[in-house]
A = this chain, B = another copy of it.
Amino acid sequence: MTIMRIDASDLQTFSANLFKSIGMQAASADITATSLVEADLRGIYSHGVVRLQPVYMKDIREGRTNPNPHIKVIRDSVSHALLEGDRGQGQLVAHHAMSLAIKKASDAIISVVGVKNSRHFGAAAHWSLMAAEASMIGFCCSNGSLLSAAPFGGAERAQGNMPMSYAIPNGNSNPVVLDMATGEAAMGKVEMARLRGDPIPVGWAIDKQGLDTTDPNMVTAVLPAGGAKGYSIGVVLDVLAGTLTGSLPSAIKGLDTELVGRGNQSGHFIMAINIEGFIPPESFARTMEEHSKILHDVKPRPGFKQVNLPGEIEWLNKEERLSDGIPLQEQELSILEELGSVYGIGPTW
């Protein structure tokens, strides 16, 4: 397996060119491409440029995703809004929603923007980080689109692998970032083990009898992380992003193949909290610094080099990759090049 190092800006230009080739406006193509390349920089490959093919481009081409949505405010107040996403590329809708949430929280201290009728918004951290970059605490979650997880105690799928992210400003250091899904493992990881012929660890997934399995071929559902805890958080996220916004929870969406007009698209719940409404930002930053130092100074367990802040590994990845390029497999690059040739976009590397 040959690994190539591709410059982030080349990958950005290529991705944006692809989106523009299919009619997306230039500024929107940049926003969407940035979300993908940032995910690759941070080491979240599952939400990086691999999404271009087959999902994102195909969904635009076949009309499931709108590359130039007219995002409309359905209801709002000083501290909240509900947006109609016009089946827009999720990154465009989430960018719009978080921009609005930040603006509202400047005055209202806390704000929430719910979104209905959006599409996959990429890595959740990308949107919570917008708030952190505006010196606010950001939160976002989305209703999952594919059922993959069993509820606690259940032998069948009834929940997406629900994503959520918090980002917290951390003075002159990089923001603290929680970016997780509620499943013990992503179905993509089970699939990767299946392709490689590897067993999976006990606790990741169950078979159709609801028994633990290490055979990826036998998997019918992944388990929720932390048992009842991951399951319950997943239900809450399904309600916030799905039910509250009128977009339906994954539990319902995932079982219903006739959901046209019933809010079958993605829903997001996007929140910003203005630190200035509570304590002076300098004081917040000082406590964050002290907190960070305590966590960094904890003696590591055997097998760990050090204790990291949430999101710290991703920041290290980004630093290294901005300097040395994003490592991609030769085969992944071929797929991108082939995709580019379909749309008349040559590789930029």
Interface residues of A (CB under 8 A from B): 75, 77-80, 82, 107-112, 114, 137, 150-156, 158, 166, 168, 176, 178, 180, 184, 206, 209-211, 225-226, 228-233, 235-236, 238-240, 242-246, 248-249, 251-252, 255, 271, 273, 275, 277-279, 283-284, 287-288, 290-291, 294-295, 298-302, 304, 306-311
Contact = CB atoms under 8 A, between A and B. Distances in A.
Contacts of A240: 137
A275 B244 contact: yes
A51 to B, nearest CB: 23
A221 B176 CA distance: 23
B209 A302 contact: yes
Nearest to A305: B153
A235 B150 CA distance: 27
Given A79-B109, A168-B236, A287-B249, A307 B184 contact: no
Contacts of A291: 235, 238-239, 243, 249, 251-252
- Judged by DSSP, the binding face of A is mixed
Contacts of A308: 152-153
A78 B79 CA distance: 9
B294 A255 contact: yes
8 contacts: A79-B109, A82-B279, A110-B112, A153-B306, A155-B301, A178-B233, A226-B230, A244-B284
A245 B80 contact: no
A299 B279 CA distance: 49
B209 A154 contact: no
Number of copies: 2
A129 to B, nearest CB: 14
Contacts of A244: 137, 273, 275, 278-279, 284
Contacts of A176: 235-236, 239
Contacts of A151: 295, 298, 307
Contacts of A277: 75, 77, 80, 82
Nearest to A223: B301
A114 B238 CA distance: 25
Listed from nearest, the 8 A-B pairs whose CB atoms lie closest are A210-B301, A153-B304, A232-B310, A225-B226, A226-B226, A154-B298, A80-B109, A178-B232
Contacts of A233: 178
A75 B144 CA distance: 37
Given A298-B158, A307-B154, A246 B80 contact: no
Nearest to A246: B279
A307 B152 contact: yes
Contacts of A288: 239, 243
A271 B300 CA distance: 35
Given A226-B229, A246-B279, A302-B209, A294 B251 contact: yes
A251 B168 contact: no
A210 B302 contact: yes
Contact of A229 (B209, B230, B278, B294): B230
